[in-house]
Structure 1
């Protein structure tokens, strides 16, 4: 009977991931729920802005927040980079720190017809990330001392193809087709000492996602003439909407233990759907004297509507995110030295995240800083840093200090030139 105790072990542990005697590592424990942490900024420039930019009309960057913004692209552009993420996690008795390096995505944009604002952009980028590891040493009157480990990895990514088009009055619209894919794996292991007669047990559950969606965007033309202030040289408003998506999800559950030299394995395969709610974003951008840029952004996503196999989560609520960013970039017609080509950025954000536990909402506040340095004509290397605080130690929850460094390479080339005849 002892040798088979692993079958019921996890049903009698009474385990809470926020209990004060846990050793946490690997990442944010909050990512254990749903599809994990959401990714808002995918380049260093966006991160330095406070992870915003819905109303930016860029010719020298690819803005995947709003596909309408592609319309001013004047060169073929390639963007790629990496992120270094660090979390200092603490509760009432424990402090840990971890860091990891991630690929931040890839974007490729081609201007097709500049007169009509038609540009094509293709990209691959993360949508969410799960990364946590929790270890607890415990004992019980029913079993020998044991160590329990909970671990999660993976996340959702999307591959997208987007087009923009310019309407009269310099109003731009755009849309992108998105293919969601990814895998999230949760592991639960119970390990006994080598002298114990109890057997180690291993439980895995994999979620495999594949689905499609779209994002629609709108960007106004320059409305600065309506303000009547000469110092304001550009004023725009932007809007983006991503539809709710029902993503077909395969689930695979396995459990195993070793008895003598043989391994007992059980396997279960299932199929369902993961409902990702719609996302709405609105923003504004304001430029002074062609050198100072201010952006304001707001995101809303009703994660209370999130469902897996038609069941909602008690740990999810609606997300609201506010950010403000500032950039100084000298008018490109007036510089001639290296330092005159360096642009500097900063930002602030406040996010009411999708997480809620025991009546406590998990909120996040962050500050940002970054800059871009030229590495050739129309080519830059961008740097950004974020420091944020999320969560609380009340009610045995966790407080997290977030450290994030982002590096992006941004290349622009004249690949296609149309000759007028």
Structure 2
């Protein structure tokens, strides 16, 4: 057990160091606010349209902390995504490919209590934009985002009724750069905004199972996230530069503006879900999420009059099917087949246009023997944005994968 524990800690240290250094977005909409949403659930959730109303004894449900009470084995899981994006305007099309680290999580069962901890991204910033007129060229670049370290606990006070809570610590930094070249002017103007963000938020969840018949169970879920204020430290640098070869920037003159300490407000969220299923056979569920409008107006450099933050609504429909979970002969009958769809009103309005999303997803849960209890793969196609009013429509194909390891830890050996 000690060897496994050391290996486990080593994997966490290596993976989290990679996660914090990544740029998890290539979206022009990540210019706005604190970036685009970076976490949409585990691979199992995402393969069912993001549905988070289901829990079992070996998989981690990172969206609802009440699910930790269902764990019967120690669970360790990590997920990654390969993204292929088509950026489309009325006149041009571009393609970008990139990888993201999605989450690293651990769940530990203790009788009717389950706890979990891990790391996951909250938002991602990554863009390169250019705007040209007859007399001026403006270039905009951004990187960074927010990460979340969390601790969750769930328990079962009454049979078939589970409650849970999570404490989240958000931290990260954003770097937004703008360079303006003007005709007949020797030097270009450069502005860089450095933003450090940190703070806590909390969420609670509940799950309830109602046995309808010997085989059918109605599952219900509810979640609530607090709307929290995060501390912000903003630093600003102004400079005149002379562009060099290979994209270098030779500074002619530079001024640093005094730092500003302020706050931004994360939105409040609540969700409800219902699902019907047969244990270890099939499940179909529907979930609704609502986010209030967050307040990012203190990030004035990328949240001006053209941007409006509104209430956000998301609808998800998904489920799974297992032909025969314990079939002794056919491997394919033990595979979990998942599918789902989602529609998200992001709550972001830019230049009078709502930036919404629609996606459809499929996935497989593959029994993987002794090394990993199971492997999960999925694919999602989704669209974000619009080409109206000189905006960009993004067409994503995302392939995501996770490996889960389950074992018995912290259990005393018994001798006859």
What TM-score does the superposition give when structure 2 sets the normalisation length? Answer: 0.85
Aligned to 1:402: 396
State the shift of 1:365 in Å: 1.0
Instruction: Give the distance between the partners of 1:43 and 1:154, measured in 2 at CA.
Output: 22
Q: Structure 1 residue 235 and structure 2 residue 225: aligned?
A: no
Instruction: Describe the superposition over 1:74-129 as per-residue Cα deviations: whole angstroms up to 9, x where unpaired.
Output: 111111121112221111111111121111110011112x2xx2111001001111
In 2, the alpha carbon distance for the partners of 1:253 and 1:211 equals 21
The 2-side partners of 1:340 and 1:404 are apart by 26
| 2:218 paired with 1:223 | no
More displaced 10-residue stretch of structure 1: 363-372 or 249-258: 249-258
Aligned partner of residue 180 in structure 1, secondary structure: strand
Q: 1:50 maps to which residue?
A: 49
- CA deviation map 1:164-209 (0-9, x unaligned): 111123211111111011111111123579xx76113321111111
Q: Distance in 1 between matches of 2:252 and 2:87?
A: 37
Which residue in the other structure is 1:5 paired with?
none
The residue that corresponds to 1:88 in the other structure is 86
Q: Is the 8 A contact 1:272 1:308 kept in 2?
A: no
User: Is 1:263–2:246 an aligned residue pair?
Assistant: no
Instruction: Say if 1:181 and 1:211, in contact at 8 Å, map to a contact too.
Output: yes
| CA displacement, residues 42-85 of structure 1 (integer Å, 9 cap, x when unaligned) | 422111010121x2122111111100011010111111121112
Contact 2:363 2:379 in 1 (8 A): yes
Provide Cα deviations, 1:317-371, integer angstroms capped at 9, x if missing partner: 1110001112112453444442222111111111111211233222211110111
Is the 1:156–1:209 Cα contact (8 Å) retained in structure 2? yes
* Structure number with bigger Rg: 1
Give the aligned length: 379
Q: Which residue of 2 aligns with 1:306?
A: 295
C-alpha distance in 2 between matches for 1:259 and 1:128 = 33
Q: Which runs of 5+ in 1 are unaligned?
A: 1-25, 141-145
Do 1:43 and 1:406's aligned partners in 2 also have CA atoms closer than 8 Å? no
Task: Say if 2:316 is the partner of 1:317.
Answer: no
| CA distance 1:128–1:135, shift in 2 (3 Å) | same
Counterpart Cα distance in 2 of 1:370 and 1:168: 33
Q: 1:73 to 1:409 in 2, by over 3 A?
A: same
2:237 maps to: 254
Task: Show the counterpart of 2:338.
Answer: 345
Q: Which residue of 182, 197, 216 maps to 1:209?
A: 197
Match of 2:175 among 185, 197, 204: 185
Within 5 Å, which residues of 2 pair with 1:22-421?
27-53=26-52, 55-112=53-110, 114=111, 117-140=112-135, 147-191=137-181, 198-220=186-208, 222-225=209-212, 228=213, 231-232=215-216, 234-258=217-241, 263-268=252-257, 269-288=259-278, 290-303=280-293, 305-309=294-298, 314-377=307-370, 379-418=373-412
Deviation at 1:277, TM superposition (A): 1.3
Contact 1:40 1:51 in 2 (8 A): no
**Conservation of the 8 A alpha-carbon contact between 1:327 and 1:345:** yes
CA contact under 8 A between 2:39 and 2:120: conserved in structure 1? Answer: no
Instruction: State how far apart, in whole Å, the 1-side matches of 2:165 and 2:413 are.
Output: 28
Contact 1:356 1:362 in 2 (8 A): yes
After superposition, the CA RMSD in angstroms is 2.4
Kindly indicate whether the alpha-carbon contact (under 8 Å) linking 2:340 and 2:361 is maintained by their aligned counterparts in 1: yes
**Structure 1 CA distance, aligned partners of 2:96 and 2:297?**
30
Cα distance change of structure 1 residues 331 and 164 upon mapping to structure 2, 3 Å threshold: farther
1:224 Cα deviation after fit: 2.5
- Once residues 279 and 406 of structure 2 are traced to their aligned partners in structure 1, the CA distance between those partners, rounded to angstroms, is 25
> What secondary structure, in the 3-state scheme, does the structure 1 residue paired with 2:67 have?
helix
Note the C-alpha offset of 1:409. Answer: 1.0
Secondary structure, counterpart of 1:167 in structure 2: strand
Question: Which moved further from structure 2: 286-295 or 239-248?
Answer: 286-295
Whole-angstrom distance in 1 between the partners of 2:393 and 2:242: 41
Structure 1 residue matching 2:308: 3-state secondary structure: coil
